[in-house]
Amino acid sequence: MTFDVITIFPGFFSSLLEYGVLKRARAAGQASIRLHDLRDFTNDRHRTVDDRPFGGGPGMVFKPEPVFKAVAAVEAESPGRPSPVILLSPQGRLFTQGLAKELARQDHLTLICGRYEGVDERIAEHVATDEISIGDFVLSGGELPAALIMESVVRLLPGVLGNEESAWQESFTAPEAGPLEFGRALLDFPHYTRPADFRGWRVPEVLLSGNHEEIRRWRRQRALEKTWRRRPDLLAGFPLSEEDREWLGALQRDADVPRRELPAIISSLGEQKL
């Protein structure tokens, strides 16, 4: 998979490419990341990429010309099927594991990193095919969001993670869904390693029992419980088995939280007869 990143700070990405999954995927030829300095697509002596906003107000805005030129150059280098041109923006579609999986199906993505007050709206409207936000907060530039998206997409590419299983059984990924299917989500179950007793805190006995069925059930229950306590919104879209419903029903009965204080989503689950 190829990523073309358009940025005024190509150097920002150097450490990212030297570690972990991105380093390995690049070395193995599974991912290629091409960095384009937006200033290379300017015509003036000062290599100007920004200008003052029409209508007044503080800050500077990315001019359209350099960005349009940069995207055209990227597209000329990668002829073939049109591929997504993503503008990083706090106003975009919220990035999730599901969206990462959707993007991992592409063989080419172009990422445009904004700066300052943002970019001329015509970039969003006429050259970007998508706008993606990494969360409801504002950063100073699209470089961290682009890095984050590349990291989460590359680790989903077939063969990139040593053990293919490990991408499947994580938070936000239903184990029964293949690595490229939409994640219907549960949070991950807790993990433990040696020592079995650390400062008196013992690893749950069941994990030492060697009883695989018991371990499977324990993990499923912990994942359901964590999700129920921390991210009940995720349960709404999750296909619960009969056993899951029984367990959640028991949790709900034992909960010390008065029912009326439970998030609305749990109440609606309750109505479905847990």
Positions that interact with ligand SAH (CB under 6 A) = 88-91, 113-115, 117-119, 133-135, 137-142, 145
Pairwise CA distance, residues 72 & 165, whole Å: 39
A 10 A CB-CB count for 125 gives 11
- The strand pair at 197-198 and 201-202 is best described as antiparallel
Kindly state the smallest distance separating residue 99's Cβ from ligand SAH, in Å.
12
Least distance from ligand SAH to the Cβ atom of residue 121, Å: 11
Q: Which is nearer to ligand SAH, 144 or 177 (CB)?
A: 144
Minimum CB distance to ligand SAH, residue 56 (Å): 15
Instruction: Quote the CA–CA distance of 109 and 101 in Å, as a whole number.
Output: 13
In the complex, what is the shortest distance from the CB of residue 48 to ligand SAH, in angstroms, rounded to a whole number?
17
Task: Please report, to the nearest 10 degrees, the dihedral formed by the alpha carbons of residues 21, 26, 29, 33 taken in order.
Answer: 120
| b/e sequence 22-35, b meaning 16+ C-beta within 10 Å | bebbeeeeebebeb
The residue among 57 and 258 lying less far from ligand SAH, judged by its C-beta, is 57
Residue 76 or 138 with smaller CB distance to ligand SAH: 138
Residue 149 CB, nearest approach to ligand SAH (Å): 9
Nearer Cβ to ligand SAH (54/201)? 54
C-beta closer to ligand SAH: residue 17 or 60: 60
HSE of 132, CA atoms in CB hemisphere, 13 A: 28
Residue with the closest Cβ to ligand SAH? 114
